[in-house]
Structure 1
């Protein structure tokens, strides 16, 4: 038992992908029905976002604020473990992995795990981003998730048609 504890304590953490370096502790979770600011750099969900995505979101948020639209983050970067937990919860909710995957990718396919996706609210912020996001390179990725945005074009470019769902 003691030997197992010593081996466990000495086992190094798995390396992070070269494109992402975790800057703060936490799995990126934001409590249900809560949001955080794009400026909350101490929260893992913000601190571990792709820098280009974060910069585009902050620029869009500043411009939206001039129109009295405030962006709130409901989800950003997520650890692989947290993403798996979300998928497991969706499977339980929908009673089918196929249905769950329409809403939640497994960790190896999730743009949240790589820091390249962000979920935004409230609805007026989503509407504003759907209309103006391409000016910043931000596009709605899935038709069934009006809150999910990724950098899918160059600023001022045309967004691709959203995929029908995450599946």
Structure 2
């Protein structure tokens, strides 16, 4: 029979050990069920063995530091100036322009004597089934400068570009004193017959470039320069 006095005086852990030993030895615990003393002992022992969970401690909040100063705006650079693309008003010509298309500035702004000579030569060449086209005539300084910059890029240096394109200040195209005639068949016709009209090829490396030399009709065209860099007018 279970001794309740022993259960009351034993420590909780000892009580559990004693009860387990008695049950293991086959002792019947009469009156244990519903016995206040045994229930209290079991509850006390359980709380001793399995203590209640410790309360959770909230993490310490980090105190905010001083506010950061606002970022200074970066100075904005001015937008690049829009690139002005030359058009027909600057002497750009579309394909198929002839010396008779005076509605285009490239033709209309040519030196009047040069334009008359080109038209007369074109009429005579047409009788031989040769058509003159104006690949370039008068040019504005802006257009001439663009062509020069493109030549520097294409040829790799200003020195090499000068063999093909003059500056706006020295180009006979800007003054209206030169015309580039094509196709090659027309340029070849002028090379053979141009002096009769005072039309001369000026540069050996440009068989399309013609200018007016009025005395050529009597004495022939003057010797050609190798390229524009040899022309004292463009130095």
TM-score using structure 2 length:
0.58
SS in 1 for 2:144: helix
Which is further off, 156-165 or 138-147? 156-165
TM-aligned CA distance change 1:50 to 1:77, over 3 Å: same
The answer to whether the 8 Å contact 1:153/1:159 transfers is no
Of residues 120, 126, 133, the one that matches 2:194 is: 133
Of residues 151, 159, 162, the one that matches 2:224 is: 162
Q: Deviations over 1:21-65 (max 9, x none)?
A: xxxx7000124xx24111111101001000000000000000111
Aligned residues: 141
Whole-angstrom distance in 2 between the partners of 1:151 and 1:104: 19
Is residue 2:90 matched to residue 1:27?
Answer: yes
SS in 2 for 1:133: helix
After the TM superposition, which residues 116-155 of structure 1 pair with which residues of structure 2 at under 5 Å, given as runs? Answer: 116-154=177-215, 155=217
Higher RCO, 1 or 2 (CA under 8 Å, sep at least 6)? 1
SS in 2 for 1:142: coil
Of residues 110, 113, 120, the one that matches 1:52 is: 113
- 5+ residue gaps, structure 1, are 1-24
Whole-angstrom distance in 2 between the partners of 1:61 and 1:39: 9
The answer to whether the 8 Å contact 1:142/1:165 transfers is yes
TM-score using structure 1 length:
0.81
After the TM superposition, which residues 44-123 of structure 1 pair with which residues of structure 2 at under 5 Å, given as runs? Answer: 44-123=105-184
CA RMSD across the alignment: 1.1
Question: 1:5: which partner in 2?
Answer: none
From the two aligned structures, give the one with the greater strand fraction.
Answer: 1
- 5+ residue gaps, structure 2, are 1-87, 230-235
The answer to whether the 8 Å contact 1:119/1:149 transfers is yes
